[in-house]
Chain A
Amino acid sequence: MSNDEPKSPPRRDFLGIAVGGSATVFAVAAGYPVARFIEPRTRPPSGPTVVGKVLEFPPGTVKSVMVDERPVLVVRAADGQFRAFSALCSHLQCVVGYAPERNQIECPCHRGVYSMDGQNIGGPPPRPLEELQVSVNEGAIIVSSVG
């Protein structure tokens, strides 16, 4: 072996390291903007929403309305009082519905059952339905946005 052979790594090794290194740097540099680009925007809640007029909700009825792109059950009791619940099941977020024949709120996906005051009384739902604020202003029913 002659003494004047270069001590630095062979050119091929150097090129390999350079290509691998730049590919890694590029992948990391490109990954961040891509991740930010595909990350969905979150919209702030739109605030209290008018869901209808009092006359459209006769006593003893349950009606489904949309608030902030989410379904909400507005319950008007026989005594005229309003209550509103998120219609999203606390289990896996299927849309629940009122079952008049049993006077309860039911989730058809995995047979979850809620009482008319939103309490989870049967099936897998782990929590009551989320309750929302309802107010009446000049004949209009206003529901607070969903949390």
Chain B
Amino acid sequence: MNAEQPRKRVREGWLSDRLGWGGISTALAKHRAPRRGFVFYLGGITLFLLLVQVLSGVLLVLYYKPDSTNAHASVERIVGEIPYGDLIRGVHVWASDFFVACLVAHLFTIVIRRSYKPPHELTWLSGLVSLVIGIGMAFTGAILPWSQKAYAQARVGSEIAHNIPLIGGWMHRLLRGGQEVTSNTLSNAYGFHVAVLPATVTLLVGLHLFFLSRKPAPVPVSEQVVDEEPGAQGEADAAKAPAAPVDDDDTIPLYPDFLYRQAVAWVGVLVAVLTLAIFADRPLGEAADPRLSSTGAQPPWYFLPFHQIIRSSPRELLGIDGAKFIVGATCFLGALVVALPFLDRKGSKLMAWAGWIVLFVLFLLATSALS
């Protein structure tokens, strides 16, 4: 039996007749994906991790109680009493860390490879908004156990949001569910975490994939062509170009080759998440007591660089409250990142260097925050 036979069976089977699978697989096979480079699998891995979180999250919701009196005890019960509860919580928590890591890595590889440049603006924007929402999901999820650490994170996170220009006051009230961090904060975080944000991110990821299918990511060889600073005509041609193979040594069909490789990467990631969920404990910490000092309230790893900047900032910068200045400056930098494809229309190599430098600085800040 040769390898073509099972595929043929699928194409000709009962389900395939009803789904018209032959047409779908032929259409998918026409799309090309890069043959080499782990970075091209990051987006798919991120999507897979989102799915893992949704599935494990649906299970956790069955036992979790979103009010300040019962939340911590309900998570303790999930971990301590419910069969495989610690495993499912572990998978959810580790998958969330991997998810943010992949999102950030995906962002940096896009910047370093300058894949944001026209005509990929819509893919870039939908991806960036998904990144912000992904971090929002991680942030609201971290509040749900209502531990001492979760309470401190809710306080500091909402106060940082308060310093965002223009919409800060509204975001502060919305995140807290009022003026203070109370049970309302927890129920708001719950609502956002299990409904609003996942629904929004699903929509955005759908759009992201749609935009990507219309204007596929440039593969390495075409990138070399762009490095030669094409003129306006060259860019217009690039915009018109379909997902055609640039060189068969550099690309493979999206289906089945690329998607099968992607599936192998998913299995690898799942094994890593499961291993950590089984062997690396994520302690829940003490239940929140608002009277107690926020000792040990280290933020999650992805906020460490920002935490270090906030911690070492002076009280005032240019006559503005230090925290306000830093949050404002971060928003400004964020706006520049959003506008990258419009500012850097040709995808200059300078941005690739800037990407590496920013990554290095963030790494230094994160490590110094741990000291």
A residues near B (Cβ < 8 Å) are 38-43, 64-66, 68-71, 87-88, 91-97, 106-111, 120, 123-126
Contact = CB atoms under 8 A, between A and B. Distances in A.
Contacts of B290: 66, 69-71, 95
Given A109-B297, A126-B321, A39 B152 contact: no
Contacts of A110: 307, 310-311
A126 B297 contact: no
A126 B315 CA distance: 5
Nearest to B294: A94
Contacts of B155: 88, 92-95
B174 interface: yes
B180 interface: yes
Interface of B: 152, 155-156, 158-160, 173-174, 176-180, 182, 184, 188, 290-297, 307, 310-316, 321-323
A106 B293 CA distance: 9
Contacts of A68: 180
Given A69-B180, A124-B311, A94 B292 contact: no
Given A40-B178, A92-B323, A108-B295, 8 more contacts: A38-B174, A42-B173, A95-B152, A97-B293, A109-B156, A110-B307, A124-B315, A126-B321
Nearest to A126: B315
Contacts of B182: 69
A68 B292 CA distance: 16
A88 B292 CA distance: 11
Given A124-B315, A125-B315, A40 B293 contact: no
Contact of A97 (B295, B312, B321): B295
Contact of B293 (A66, A70, A108): A108
B294 A107 contact: yes
B159 A42 contact: no
Contact of A66 (B291, B297, B313): B291
Nearest to B324: A126
Contacts of B156: 92-94, 109
Contacts of A106: 293
Given A39-B173, A40-B173, A108 B294 contact: yes
A87 B292 CA distance: 9
By Cβ-Cβ distance, the 6 closest A-B pairs, closest first, are A97-B293, A64-B291, A110-B311, A94-B294, A93-B159, A126-B315
A124 to B, nearest CB: 6
B173 A108 contact: no
A125 B321 CA distance: 9
B160 to A, nearest CB: 6
Contact of A43 (B178, B188, B311): B178
A111 B298 CA distance: 12
B323 A124 contact: yes
Contacts of A108: 293-297
Contacts of B315: 120, 124-126
B314 A124 contact: yes
Contact of B322 (A40, A64, A124): A124
Given A66-B291, A97-B295, A108-B293, A91 B323 contact: yes
5 contacts: A40-B176, A40-B184, A43-B178, A95-B293, A126-B323
Given A93-B155, A110-B311, A42 B179 contact: yes
Contacts of B313: 124
